[in-house]
Amino acid sequence: MVQVVKASGDTEEFNRRKFLRSIMRGGSSKSVAQRVLDSIEPKLHDEISTKQIYQLASAQLARYDSKGSLTYDLKDSIMKLGPSGFPFEDYIGGILSWMGYEVSVRNVAHGRCVRHEIDLIAVAKGRATMVECKYHNYKGVFTGLKEAMYTYARLLDIREGYAADHIGAKIEKAMLVTNTKFSEDAIAFSSCRDIELLGWHHPERNGLERIIDNGRLYPVTILHGLDYEETAALAKCGLIMARDLIRFDLGDIAEKTGIPRRRLGGLSSQARELLG
């Protein structure tokens, strides 16, 4: 069996079932997933990296299922929102809004001891949640115990000193959101201290990737060929999701971002195919 090198540097056996599931997660059929597997398997060798496998699979998937090839790129596309974490914060704000929260971005709160910059405040049913966003732009990194404890310590200070005036609700809870996985210690601590976690495959049946797929809340960076300058120009105007290129007038977007109208038309066509 072929030994694969993961992003963390660890090795594991290539798992055909896991590979097929990763292709099908984006909406491709089992038969398409099998064709992709059949195409790349002869090219696999010991110590091939998961990144190389991903590149091989992505190229083959584009031949058989163009829409599926877009959604297969989900994890990488979120990592392309960087290098700063601000676009990720805006993206998570959009996801939480879709989930029913009233969201404000990049707030300042005075705790009992110090002043805090809060990534997001999410309010639902009169209860406010402090949201800490932990963004990674490379794979193989876990969001761990340190981040969970840091979030909890901030919550304690804010609970004792933060006024509720401008959001109409006192902050009662904390949520830690990441685009990667959580460590076991982070999950255990957060469960003990009632910190809500949202990340890759967590919660197990309703992780970040599942929410994104269910709501079709794909980041604009999922579209093929979008470069860093275009991403930054769109993000500066608050256009973080692929659906924004359908919801808003392309002429207005071109004027605000400086991206040519014809170029936006091509990206919009991809978005329409992706979102149906």
| Element containing residue 196 per DSSP (H, E) | strand 196-198
Contacts 24+ apart (CB under 8 A), 259-264: 259/230, 259/233, 259/234, 263/230
Rounded to whole angstroms, the Cα distance separating 141 from 240 reads 24
What is the per-residue pLDDT for 214?
92
Is pLDDT above 80 for 168? no
Label residue 138 by pLDDT band (50, 70, 90).
Answer: confident
- For residues 82 and 272, the model is more confident at 272
Coil, helix or strand at residue 122: strand
String of DSSP letters for 132-161: EEE--SSSS-EE-HHHHHHHHHHHHHHHHH
Question: Starting at the edge strand that comes first in sequence, how are the strands of the sheet with 171-178 ordered?
Answer: 102-110, 115-124, 127-134, 171-178, 196-198
Q: Where are the beta strands (DSSP E) in 41-187?
A: 48-49, 102-110, 115-124, 127-134, 142-143, 171-178, 181-182
Q: Quick one: fold of 218-275? A: DNA polymerase; domain 1 (1.10.150)
CA-closest candidate to residue 94, choices 217, 209, 236:
217
The overall average pLDDT reported for the chain is 92
For residue 27, what are its two tokens? 């909406």
pLDDT computed for residue 167 by the predictor: 63
CA atoms of 66 and 259, how far apart (whole Å): 24
The answer to whether the CB of 88 falls within 8 A of the CB of 81 is: yes
Of 106, 165, 114, give the one whose Cα is nearest residue 130. Answer: 106
Residues 38-51 pLDDT 10s: 999 999 999 999 88
Check: CB of residue 2 under 8 Å from CB of residue 48.
yes
Class of domain 86-215: alpha beta
Give tens-digit pLDDT for 81-136: 877 778 999 999 999 999 999 999 999 888 889 999 999 999 998 899 999 999 99
Q: Can you tell me which residue has the tokens 């971002």?
A: 257
Half-sphere exposure of 265 (CA within 13 A, CB side): 4
Query: Could you tell me the pLDDT band of residue 242, with boundaries at 50, 70 and 90?
Result: very high
